[in-house]
Homo-oligomer: A and B are copies of this chain.
Amino acid sequence: LNQRAMEEARERQSRMTKPPGSLGVLEEVSIQLAGLAGECPAPIPEPASVAVFAADHGVHAQGVTPWPQEVTAQMVRNFLNGGAVVNAFATQLGAEVTVVDVGVIEDLSPVPGLLPRKVARGTADMTQGPAMSRIEAEYAIEAGIEVARDLVAAGNRCLLTGDMGIANTTASAALISAFTGRDAAEVTGRGTGIDDAMYAHKVSVVRTALQVNQVDPADPIGVLAAVGGLEHAALAGFILGAASLRVPVILDGVIAGAAALAAVALAPDARLACIAGHRSSEPGHAVVLEHLGLRPLVDLDLRLGEGSGALLALPLVQSAARALKDVATFDSAHVSQRD
């Protein structure tokens, strides 16, 4: 981050016609945006695009969710038809939606808005061995980097993470446990909604996957390959790509959070481009946010994924930038300062 631009932003916040500090967390966001842009005020982070990375999970076979696996592909078609929550929110909030197939089992017909980047037809079952090979993880990371690069080349000034993959909260829990050292029970949640028996089973599946694979958090690609999903690897690449281009990336929920742990393990400075869009009701997400030192902008018990929580934060981020850019100073507006 550009320290001079951040210092300018901090100083400008103190001269704007408002009590110092009265914009709370949004002042910090505006300073981060200035640091990323290398200028103060930072440009408004628009246009914005949410990339929804979709993939299937071999661990679905372990019965960790009541949703059939084909729902991944069905929801991808729903995204492409504009029928999902991510579409509704993007319409309302002024963002584009791009769907990226990095590992859906089914073949998906080529249509506008779908980027075919299938690395594999889903992952393998991580309770039986690694979810994917190291080279597959690297391909997926690369796909994510390229999507970020292409979206920024197309003019986007803010990227948002989205995801779709039935059973991907299970892989997220394994990743979070691997990267933070927290116990599986602390970071496993009820995902899209499961009963007590299935929840207990889900925790044991996460624990088994970590025992079978013996991951080393100092080898982030190895961790992703062992217990991650293809969308997690791609999202890690997406975050790295945004950060390398100094474009802010608004993270959605627990899946993006798990991917951010991998991205930050690969390149610690990637964290500086990240804005936590929201806190989901998944317990592992709170662990991620604490681990990364990120404060979520929205906290409304969402647990949907798709990028919905990141999208809700977009107008808050844009408003933070707008205030820094447009608000008059005490001098320019002839407003008296406090005694």
A contact residues vs B (CB 8 Å cutoff)? 16-26, 44, 65-68, 70-71, 74-75, 77-78, 81-85, 87-89, 91-93, 192-193, 281, 297-304, 308, 311-312, 315-316, 318-319, 322-323, 325-328, 332-336, 338-339
Contact = CB atoms under 8 A, between A and B. Distances in A.
A302 B78 contact: no
A76 to B, nearest CB: 10
A298 B316 contact: yes
Contact of A17 (B78, B298, B323): B78
Contact of A315 (B312, B322, B325): B312
A315 B84 contact: no
A41 to B, nearest CB: 11
Nearest to A325: B88
Given A74-B334, A312-B319, A336-B70, A81 B328 contact: yes
Contacts of A311: 319
A326 B88 contact: yes
Contacts of A21: 193, 303
Contacts of A319: 88-89, 92-93, 311-312
A315 B92 contact: yes
30 contacts: A17-B75, A18-B85, A18-B304, A19-B192, A19-B193, A22-B302, A22-B303, A24-B303, A26-B300, A66-B338, A66-B339, A67-B338, A70-B336, A77-B333, A78-B328, A81-B333, A87-B326, A87-B327, A88-B322, A88-B323, A88-B325, A89-B319, A91-B322, A92-B315, A92-B322, A93-B315, A192-B338, A299-B299, A312-B315, A312-B316
A316 B313 CA distance: 9
Given A316-B300, A327-B85, A75 B335 contact: yes
Given A89-B322, A93-B319, A83 B333 contact: yes
Given A75-B335, A78-B328, A328-B78, A318 B24 contact: no
Contacts of A67: 336, 338-339
A24 B82 CA distance: 21
Contacts of A338: 65-68, 192-193
Contacts of A24: 281, 300-303
Contacts of A308: 23
A21 B300 CA distance: 11
